[in-house]
Amino acid sequence: MSYIQIEINGKPRGLKFNQMAVVTMTKYLDFDNVAATYGYALVYAGLVSGCYVKREEPDFTFEQVCDWVDEMSVDELIKIRDVFESTQSFKALISNAEEVTKKKPKRTKEKA
C-alpha cells in the first residue's frame, strides 16, 4: 500500500508515496537535522504526490504543512511513516543507500 487518507486541518487528504514523493522528500529534508525535519518532509511529499497523481493543484504550502504536522498526534505520524516505509520506492532508496555505503572506502586515521 502506498496511499493513506487522513484528516488534516479538518479536511480528508490523501498522501501518495511513490518515486515522486521520494524526490520531493529529499528536497525538503534537512540532512543535517533529519530527526527534526523528517515528519515535515514526509507529509509534504505525500500530499504533493497525492495531488500530482490525481491531477489536482495543491491547496497548501510547505509552511502550512509544517504547522499541520506540529498539530498531528504521534500515532498519526507513525501511520504515515509506516505506509511510506512499506513502499517499493522506500525499499529501493534504502537498498541504494546501503550499496553506496558498502562501496565507500573506510577512512583511516592519519598519523600526526
Q: How far is 30 from 87, CA to CA, in rounded Å?
A: 22
Q: What is the pTM of this model?
A: 0.84
Residue 105 has pLDDT above 90, yes or no: no
Q: What band does 1 get if pLDDT is binned at 50, 70 and 90?
A: confident
Q: How far is 43 from 81, CA to CA, in rounded Å?
A: 9
Q: How far is 91 from 110, CA to CA, in rounded Å?
A: 36
Provide the pLDDT for residue 96. Answer: 76
Q: What band does 109 get if pLDDT is binned at 50, 70 and 90?
A: low
Provide the pLDDT for residue 111. Answer: 59
Collapse the DSSP code of 56 into the 3-class scheme (helix H, G, I; strand E, B; otherwise coil) and give the result: coil
Percent above pLDDT 70 for the chain = 89
**In this predicted model, what pLDDT tens digit does every residue of 6-58 receive, in sequence order?**
999 999 999 999 999 999 999 999 999 999 999 999 999 999 999 999 999 99
